[in-house]
Structure formats: C-alpha cells, structure tokens
A and B are shown apart, each in its own frame.
Chain A
Amino acid sequence: MRWLTDPWQLGYFGRGMLAAVLAGGLSGLIGTYVVLRRMSYIGHGLSHAILGGTVVGYVTNFNFYVAGGLWGALSALLITGVSRSRRIGADAAIGIVTTASYAVGIALISRGHHFTRNFEAAFFGNILGVTTTDVWVLVVVSAAVVAVIFFLYKQFLFVTFDAEVAASYGVRTGLVDVVFSLVLAAAIIATMRILGVTLIAAAVVTPAVVARLSTNSFGRMLGLSVLIGALTGFGGMYVSYYGDIASGATITLTGAAIFAVVYLVGVVRGRLGRRALAGAIVTDWDQASFPTDVPV
C-alpha cells in the first residue's frame, strides 16, 4: 500500500488532493442541475467567457478571482437573460456572448506574449501549482454553494423538473434562475485553475451522467454525483502523479473511465434503457474552442 501513501510525503500533493476532491465534488453537485436542465452547453460557454474576464483582470491589475467573479456574474446573468427569451436562436446568442468574451481573452494573451504562462493553469489546469489562496477560495465557494442548494433544494428541484408549473405553484423561477447562474459562475471560477477551462465541462457533466445511470431518484442522484466527482478527483490525482500527466486530463479521463464501466455494467445487466441516457445530453467538446493557436 506504499504507493497510496508515498505521494503524500510531498507537501504540494496534499494540497492538490484537497483541491481535486473539492473541485470534483463541487462540479458533481452543480453538474446534476446542469445535466438535468440540459445546460451543458451553457456551462461550457460560461467557463470560456469567464476566462476572458480573468485575462482582462490581469491586464488591468485586478485579482484573478475578483475579475473572474465580476465578469462571470455578468456573463451568467446575461446568458440567463438571453436563454429565458423564447425567441429562436437563444443558443446562438449565448454562443456569441461566450465566445466573444473568450476571444477578448485570447486577443489580449496573443498581444502580450510575456504573460501567457500565467494562463496555462486557467486553460489546462495545474493542480500541483495550487496555492493556499486557491484552496481557500474553493472551500468558501463550495460551502456557499452547498448552503444555497441546501436551503433552495425544493425550489431548485421544481424549476429543474418543470419551470413553468413551478411558477404556478408559487416558486419565483426568475430568482431561482439568477441564483443558479451565479452559483454556476462561482463554481467555474473556483475550479478553473484546478481543472482548466477546457476540461471543466467534462468535470461538471460526467459525474452527474454516471449518477443518473445509477439511480432514478433526484436526491440520490445529487448525492451520488458529488461522491463520484470527489472520487474522480481523488483517483485522477494518483494517475496524474504516477503517470506524470496533467491533472486536469487525468481527472477527466478517470471520470470517463468510471462512466464507461457503469455504462457497460448497465448494458450487461440489461437494466439500462435508452431512456436513462436520453436525459443526459452531453455537448460535443468542440475542438474549435481549444486554443491550439495561442502561444503558450
């Protein structure tokens, strides 16, 4: 069992592990709502939009989290506003808002080559470079998100299941949407330096999809998704350490492996219908958004 304990001899591993487990659990928590509300596209876009904000913050000498927080809240509210309009093309409008914001960041990075290193973590995640501040931000954001979801559990569930009927039962659906988008933005900012903007969407969606395949109850799905997210972070950290691979990638791949196992077990047992999967729409990770042409 030495292989389990050995990495802990290194100080940064413990901090990284805490960050990975927290980031995984937090992503699993919000992922349940993202998947069931079929918002994976919005989560994906929002993470890119926020990256633009953090670059602007860097250029104007703002703190990563302050700039990302302000920009993220603004983007989240804008996206919520656009997606509530019933006009055709809301998804396209969201795409424009988020990619434009992302492009601002890319443009600024390409202008000043000297600071691209600082954004490597934001793009790809760098768990071993996690600072104490990063961990504290993650702890505070996780606690706040858990508190919001705890006290608005029923309202969130009703709006996720059927927003229109929820409104007729007295739920303030507009307020719930705004609160959820802010929670989503906060979670993305807090996990961005750990998982990387390009891989956050996978960390958000995968645990929830695995949980959905394993249960038919919303309450159990939420709990399972948090657990699977945390486990993914835990396992991914060891793979990263022993394989000498970027942690964002190993966490994502661990999640994908758990999904594959659960899916195959379901198929073998014959319990899994197409119904269960139909609720979990996974966006295709558009390769175009991967910053291949950015000088890193």
Chain B
Amino acid sequence: MGFWGSSGRGLANGLLPLLGKEMRGRSRNWRFPLALSLYLAFLSGVIMFFLSLIYRMGMVSSQTGFLFYGIIVFGLVLLLAFITATVSATAISGERDRRTYDLLLATTASPTGIVLGKWLASVIYLLFLVVAALPLLAVVYLYGGIPLVALGTAMALCILTGLGYGALGLAYSAVLKRSQAAIIFSLVTVFGLIFVTLVAGGIGAASHGQPGPVPQVVPVQAEHPGWYIYLSPLSAIPAAVPGGLRPVPIMGELVSTLNRLVSAGLTQGGLWVGMDTTMVVAEGFTGWPSWTKFALFQGVLTVVCLLIATLAVNPLPPWRARKIRRRKAEPYC
C-alpha cells in the first residue's frame, strides 16, 4: 500500500469510529440533553427579556425585527464560541483522564484521523446547537422578518466561530495534560479573541483620530482599523444583520463604553470600524467585507490549531523519529 493509501486508511480508522462513538455516547448521556435545554432556556430568557424591554419602552418600530435579530445572533455567536471551545477542550485530555488514550494510540488510527474525528464530533455538536436555535430566530418574523441571505450569513458565522474555536480547544486539549487546564486556557483565549481584540482595536482607532463625542449618526470609517479585530466574530456580525450601515446597537454601546473607559476620548468612528460591511471603499484586504476577513482568520486559526493538535497527539513526532533514525545505536557494554 502506498503512502496515500496508508494515510487514507489511518485517517478513516480514526475518523469513522471516533465520530460514531462520540455521537452514540452523546445520545446516551444525560449531559447532552441537559446542556441543550440550558442553552435554549438561556437564549429564550434573553429574548423574553428584550421583548418585555421593547414593549415597556414603547420602542416597537419598523426596525425592531432587525434589532432583535442582531441581539439573537450576537448572543448565539457568544454562546457557541464558549460552548464549542469548552466541549472540544475535553476531547483529547478526557481520553487521558479516562486512561483510554494509550489504547487509542496503539491502534492503526493515525493522529490526523484521531484529531479530525474528535474535532468533527465537536462540530456536529455545534450544528445541533445552531439548528436547535433556529426556532428562536423565527421570533423576528413577528416584526417583519429578515432576508434568508442574512439568516444564512448568520448561520455561517455561527458555524465558522464554532469550527475555529473548536479547533482551538482541541489544540489545548492535545497539548495540555489535564482537562481542567485545557478548558481554562481555551476559555481565556476565546475571551481574548472575542473581546480583547475589539478593545485593542478601539484603543488603536482612538490613537488615530481626534477625541470627540460619541457619534450619534452613521459612523464614519476610520483610516487604520487593526487587522486583529477580525479575529473576533463580533466584528462580522453587522454583515449578518440586514440594513447595511446599521451597527448592532447593544454591541456598539458595549464597545463604545469599553473604549471610553480605556482611552481619554472616543475617536470619531472608533470601534464601528470593521463591523461595517458596506462603508468600506478601500481596495485589497482592507476592502474585503468584514465577514470574509473573519472567515479567513478563522480558517487559518482552524488549520493551525488542528496541525498543532495532530503533532501533539503523535507519539512518535516526525522530527524526533528522524533524529533517532540518523543516530546509530551504540554497542552496550
């Protein structure tokens, strides 16, 4: 059997049984339905809260549906980011904790097959969560609805978020020995990627502009948005919200407040930069829509993390094996 045939077999020997086992295990475990129920209860709670707020303040207008949709997508993305990272952070370290890791590595499943099997199992879990949230998104149709393209973009954004952060959790799970450490590192990193990048972007934007009041009207594109803000899925949310120029109010308020806290004054544009898809007129990378930039970074994050996990799982790392092959055994006296 050639290299490709052998690699393909190793991949299939890891991917197929692991995927099947994880799915079967989750369907039998009480934790999965419980987590799903809590997730839906939390999302429903958020929706109920905002519904009551809107009615109490008499804010029902033609834009209510969009506003509402933005809030749901915002909450969904945040939940999925943290849930997927947590789930995948126990995928490989959990095998170590259970003492089944050696048994798995002793099979003919390749490290790539094992990593992809674990990752896809986490991704399928993510898909369950996304699909389960769809009925909640239907609430926006009470207020006029949203185009299907926007809904598709939102789903793609959720899945991209889950794929990248799932791979991140898996990399920590493979590199760190204990599940608890892997979970903590994953959550801290995800928090950093989602929020710290935006705050850093705010500070960066503040240093390029003049201090001034918070813009009350349509924000203006600043000159040099930091590329790192596209590591945050929040930077891509406006692309999933119909209405083009309209940023997500809740997020905008949150980020503006953060920005005000860390800088002397808010610059014109500030953190609206990068969230807006239609205002960008620049060419090249800066001219790309925000969600494509986020997709690119998420793709890179996914590939890098899966590569790290594969190398960490391999009991015979290629570079060390090569070193031993070169070294001749010394005669034992």
Same complex origin of A and B? no
Question: B residues touching A (Cβ–Cβ < 8 Å)?
Answer: none
Question: A residues touching B (Cβ–Cβ < 8 Å)?
Answer: none
